[in-house]
């Protein structure tokens, strides 16, 4: 009986040691800290590219021309950014970074996307039934966008042995919703040297 109990205790201790050795370790890091693990497009790329491209857009003169013509700040909607790369890239986070950079500039108004507007319109319709007349918001008073920002993300991969060069090209275009004129085109290129990667 003693042998069985000792064996059971030893097995329990061994199992505990094995499981503790396999436990997931989590360490919090700063949001601004750069961590390139796989070499793929990441949150740092998204943030830096969006901020740089919006800065370039804001300094290109289209805002001043619009304000001189209309007397008001331009209204922009960020449309579709297509991922044409070999990677799975969550373009929604990149679009959110673009919107944030535009809003934080204080030089343009940004309106809700098509999907966001649908939710707001449902809420407005619900207000017609349930909200007081004093607080409900009437339909037909939305702000139309003067310009739409669209873009693409492309990649070129060059791999040999245990080394890979990943080239990213991000193209953005600002288009007038009134007459389809292109007011600004921007391009940002990134190149990453990835060694000992598990290539797809």
Q: List pLDDT tens digits, range 156-184.
A: 988 888 888 889 999 999 999 999 999 99
Q: Rounded to whole angstroms, how far apart are CA atoms 57 and 102?
A: 9
Buried b / exposed e over 172-181, threshold 16 CB at 10 Å, is bbbbbeeeee
Residue 84 contacts residue 37 (beta carbons within 8 Å): no
pTM (2 d.p.)? 0.76
How confident is the model over 88-103, as a mean pLDDT?
90
60-84 pLDDT, tens digit each: 999 999 999 999 999 999 999 999 9
125-148 pLDDT, tens digit each: 999 889 998 998 988 899 999 999
**Residue linked to tokens 């040999």:** 160
What domains sit in the chain, N to C, each tagged with a CATH number? 42-195 (3.40.50)
Half-sphere exposure of 105 (CA within 13 A, CB side): 25
Place of tokens 């309106």: 111
DSSP 24: -
């Amino acid at each position: 009986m003693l042998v069985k109990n000792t064996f059971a205790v030893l097995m329990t201790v061994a199992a505990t040691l094995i499981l503790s050795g396999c436990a997931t370790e989590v360490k919090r890091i700063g949001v601004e800290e750069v961590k390139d693990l796989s070499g793929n497009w990441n949150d740092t790329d998204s943030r830096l590219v969006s901020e740089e491209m919006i800065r370039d857009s804001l300094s290109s003169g289209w805002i001043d021309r619009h304000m001189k013509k209309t007397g008001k700040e331009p209204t922009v909607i960020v449309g579709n950014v297509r991922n044409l790369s070999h990677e799975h890239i969550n373009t929604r986070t990149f679009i959110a970074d673009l919107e944030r950079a535009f809003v934080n500039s204080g030089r343009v108004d940004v309106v809700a996307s098509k999907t966001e507007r649908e939710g707001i319109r449902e809420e407005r319709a619900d207000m017609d039934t349930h909200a007081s007349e004093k607080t409900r918001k009437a339909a037909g008073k939305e702000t139309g966008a003067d310009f739409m920002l669209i873009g693409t993300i492309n990649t070129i991969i060059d791999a040999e042995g245990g080394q890979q060069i990943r080239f990213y090209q991000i193209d953005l275009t600002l288009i007038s919703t009134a007459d389809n004129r292109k007011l600004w085109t921007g391009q940002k290129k990134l190149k990453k040297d990835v060694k000992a990667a598990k290539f797809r």
